[in-house]
């Protein structure tokens, strides 16, 4: 038998590889899968956008990668390889060390992750001392430096502020400073700008983009906003009802979307030059994950479904270079 051809596996190994990840929740005496055999790779320095409607399993996926699922959730199967190590097999102590030092995370609402009773300075200094084994004085200098880097004016003075003394945009900058204080290889940003007004959103995305170039860091940016994807991501994974519907580099995804759900998402993205009245939305709602339809989960809302769509789960099939879609009609769309 001829061995399979491998192309320099070590050089091309992704920084993060999520494979066949299934996450289940126990609620009201029942177990349901919020994430169902999801997989994607992130290369070093790359920005992967994860996009999809609310409830599609984006945050649950990120929390699973961080080892921070709520108590009623568990990874039922799959692998989460980070720098070649399966995080699911890592002892809790090692995972805690990795979190913050090698993998940073920022959330949508910084008030929930900043502790209201400690100053900004205490919280950043604590993170740096914990992960970098620096003395307090050196850690404080690093904290001032990081706050200045994320564009907080009079950084040294702001160290003594409490979170509630800052605006939402400034708090999100503090979160970015904290996440980047230890120069992680990977940043998970879950709806990092959703709670902020449009101008501040744009500023923060620019800032994140500059910092990730400077630090050579990979980013997974989770959003329900196609505009954020277009601005910021290199590649996209479109989530629908706990599964990957489509994945592709940004340009082919916008130019030649192969999954009807992606086409619907793009059509419902408000454009700066279009008036909001003409916004197209996808009719219907995402299925209840407690009782998902058999076959394709998008079939109940799909304008191009055929009988076979309701029979079996559609596999992700290649429709172009690095472009895959879980639709049995994707080939027709590509042609
Ligand atoms: N703590 C929980 N208990 C039970 N179910 C949960 C919990 N957290 C999330 N889920 C389920 O997982 C689904 C996906 O949630 P989530 O990943 O937060 O969606 P989003 O794509 O909006 O980030 C939710 O619709 C919900 O059914
Ligand atoms: Mg979410």
Which CATH number does the domain housing residue 73 bear?
3.40.50.300
CA distance 146 to 177: 5
pLDDT at 5 over 80: no
70 lines ligand 1 (CB under 6 A): yes
pLDDT of residue 203: 84
3-state secondary structure the chain: CCCCCCCCHHHHCCCEEEEEEEEEEEECCEEEEEEEEEEEEECCCCEEEEECCCCCCHHHHHHHHHCCCCCCEEEEEEEEEECCEEHHHCCHHHHHHHHHHCEEEECCCHHHHCCCCCCHHHHHHHHHHHHHCCCHHHHHHHHHHHHHHCCCCCHHHHCCCCHHHCCHHHHHHHHHHHHHCCCCCEEEEECCCCCCCHHHHHHHHHHHHHHHHHHCCEEEEEECCHHHHHHHCCEEEEEECCEEEEEEEHHHHHHCCCCHHHHHHHHCCCCCCCCHHHCCCCCCCCCCCCCCCCCCCCHHHCCCCCHHHHCCCCCCEEEECCEEECCCCHHHHHC
CA distance 176 to 154: 17
Band of the pLDDT at 9, cuts 50, 70, 90? very low
User: Does residue 170 lie in a domain region?
Assistant: no
pLDDT of residue 75: 98
294 domain residue, yes or no: yes
The alpha carbons of the chain give a radius of gyration, in whole angstroms, of 21
Q: Is the pLDDT of residue 1 over 70?
A: no
* Least-confidence region, from 59-63, 255-259, 273-277, 303-307: 273-277
Q: Is 74 in the pocket of ligand 1 (CB under 6 A)?
A: no
Does 297 reside within a domain?
Answer: yes
| 268 vs 105: CA distance, rounded Å | 28
The domain tally of the chain equals: 1
Residues 6+ apart with CB under 8 A from 274: none
User: Per-residue pLDDT for 243 more than 70?
Assistant: yes
Tokens for 111, please give them.
Answer: 């008030």
The owner of tokens 């706990």 is 242
- Looking at ligand 1, which atom is closest to the CA of residue 239? 21
Look at residue 335 and tell me whether its pLDDT is greater than 80. no
- Report the pLDDT value the prediction gives residue 12, as an integer from 0 to 100: 66
* pLDDT score of 89: 96
56 alpha carbon – ligand 2 mean position (Å): 8
Residue 103 covered by a domain: yes
- Judge if the beta carbon of residue 63 lies within 6 A of ligand 1: no
Q: What is the mean pLDDT of residues 149-160?
A: 92
Model confidence at 14, pLDDT cuts 50, 70, 90, reads very high
Q: Does the residue 267 lie in any domain?
A: yes
Query: Distance between CA 241 and CA 296 in Å, rounded?
Result: 10
Report CA torsion sign: 287, 289, 292, 298.
positive
**For residue 147, what are its two tokens?**
């706050």
Residue 270 corresponds to which tokens in the numbers above? 């408000």
Q: How far is the CA of 114 from the centre of ligand 2 (A)?
A: 18
How high is the pLDDT of residue 333? 59
Closest Cα to atom 7 of ligand 1:
25
Q: pLDDT by residue (tens digit) across 174-232?
A: 988 988 888 899 999 999 887 777 888 888 888 889 989 988 899 999 998 888 899 89
Minimum-distance ligand to the CA of 194?
2
Q: What percent of the chain has pLDDT over 90?
A: 63
Q: Which of 55, 64, 190, 285 to mutate to test the pocket of ligand 1 (most atoms within 8 A of CB)?
A: 55
Cα–Cα dist 272/266, whole Å: 13
pLDDT range class, residue 7, cuts 50, 70, 90: very low
Sheet holding 317-320, edge to edge: 103-106, 186-190, 218-223, 47-51, 235-240, 243-249, 323-325, 317-320
Range of the domain at 260: 13-112+182-334
Does residue 165 belong to any structural domain of this protein?
A: no
In a domain, 80, yes or no: yes
Q: Report the nearest-CA residue for atom 3 of ligand 1.
A: 25
Answer whether 290 contacts ligand 1 (Cβ < 6 A). no
- Please tell me the predicted confidence (pLDDT) of residue 8: 44
State pLDDT tens for residues 269-325.
765 554 544 556 788 889 988 889 999 999 999 999 999 999 999 999 999 999 999
| Residue found under tokens 């940043």 | 187
Q: What is the number of the ligand closest to the CA of 32? A: 1
Q: Cα–Cα distance between 48 and 96 in angstroms, integer? A: 24
Task: For residue 23, give the ligand 1 atom closest to its CA.
Answer: 12
Question: Atom 18, ligand 1: which residue's CA is nearest?
Answer: 59
β-pairing verdict for 235-240 and 243-249: antiparallel
The tens digit of pLDDT for each residue in 89-109 reads 999 999 998 998 899 998 876
Residue 157 lies in a domain: no
Using a CB cutoff of 5 Å, list residues around ligand 2, an ion.
58-59
């Amino acid at each position: 038998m001829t061995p399979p051809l491998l192309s320099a596996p070590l050089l091309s190994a992704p920084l993060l590889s999520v494979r066949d990840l299934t996450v289940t929740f126990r609620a009201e005496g029942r177990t349901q899968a919020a994430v169902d055999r999801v997989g994607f790779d992130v290369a070093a320095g790359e920005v992967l956008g994860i996009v999809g409607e609310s409830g599609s399993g984006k945050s649950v996926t990120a929390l699973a990668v961080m080892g921070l699922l709520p108590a009623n959730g568990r990874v039922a199967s799959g692998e989460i390889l980070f720098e070649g190590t399966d995080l699911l097999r890592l002892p809790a102590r090692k995972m805690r060390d990795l979190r913050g030092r090698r993998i940073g995370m920022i959330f949508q609402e910084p008030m929930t992750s900043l502790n209201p009773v400690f100053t900004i300075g205490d919280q950043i200094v604590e993170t740096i001392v914990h992960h970098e084994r620096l003395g307090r004085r050196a850690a404080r200098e690093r904290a001032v430096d990081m706050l200045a880097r994320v564009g907080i004016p009079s950084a040294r003075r702001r160290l003594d502020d409490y979170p509630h003394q800052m605006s939402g945009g400034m708090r999100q900058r503090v979160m970015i400073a904290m996440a980047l204080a230890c120069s992680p290889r990977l940043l998970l940003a879950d709806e990092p700008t959703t709670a902020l007004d449009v101008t501040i959103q744009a500023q923060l995305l620019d800032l994140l983009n500059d910092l990730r170039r400077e630090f050579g860091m990979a980013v997974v940016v989770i959003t329900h906003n196609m505009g954020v994807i277009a601005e910021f991501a290199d590649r996209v994974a479109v989530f629908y009802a706990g599964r990957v519907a489509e994945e592709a580099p940004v340009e082919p995804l916008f130019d030649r979307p192969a999954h009807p759900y992606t086409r619907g998402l793009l059509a419902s993205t408000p454009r700066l030059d279009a008036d909001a009245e003409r916004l197209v939305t996808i009719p219907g709602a995402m299925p209840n994950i407690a009782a998902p339809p058999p076959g394709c989960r998008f079939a109940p809302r799909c304008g191009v479904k055929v009988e076979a769509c309701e029979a079996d789960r559609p596999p992700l099939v290649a429709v172009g270079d690095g472009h895959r879609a879980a639709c049995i009609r994707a080939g027709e769309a590509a042609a």
